[in-house]
A and B are shown apart, each in its own frame.
Chain A
Amino acid sequence: GQQVMQIPQYQHVQEGEDFTTYCNSSTTLSNIQWYKQRPGGHPVFLIQLVKSGEVKKQKRLTFQFGEAKKNSSLHITATQTTDVGTYFCAGGSGGGSNYKLTFGKGTLLTVNP
């Protein structure tokens, strides 16, 4: 079945440093989504990418979808303590009633003030 892998599993940075997490799928995706889960919280939707090579920005966050629609990345510029949490990618595949999201295991980001 489809697998979605994320690296790194953990990342600790000093406040102000940049952070990147990478997501790779074993199959071509129809879209990729990113979620953030704060400690003790539940996953919250951040963004969806659909087009090959798509790049989207949300303030200090930059999301990319690979040309082959099998990989994606999330880059945070100048991290802040409020960025702490686990970032999950989720790959969408299939169509119609077969459409499904498969989550990666996430990257836990901790930020030292």
Chain B
Amino acid sequence: GESVGLHLPTLSVQEGDNSIINCAYSNSASDYFIWYKQESGKGPQFIIDIRSNMDKRQGQRVTVLLNKTVKHLSLQIAATQPGDSAVYFCAENNFGNQFYFGTGTSLTVIP
């Protein structure tokens, strides 16, 4: 079966520092990945996605890196702000309409 997991369940960073959140996946056939942010009391919010024909994609203050060799995905947040405090999780897809989600990493930004 699918296995999407995160290396660390919690992460604390100082405001202004960069954050790196990691995700491992087990299905080498997965070719589409999404990072979601979920704040307390809210539903998951799309942050950025990447397809397997790319190894890096940048958004506003966020960068997603994909390493297909080791089946690893990371989300980098530049200049982390208090509003970035949330649970972040990745989702993978392999040609179907079903995504497999990780359990999430809780990011806490220390002012």
A binds B: no
Binding site for A on B (CB under 8 A): none
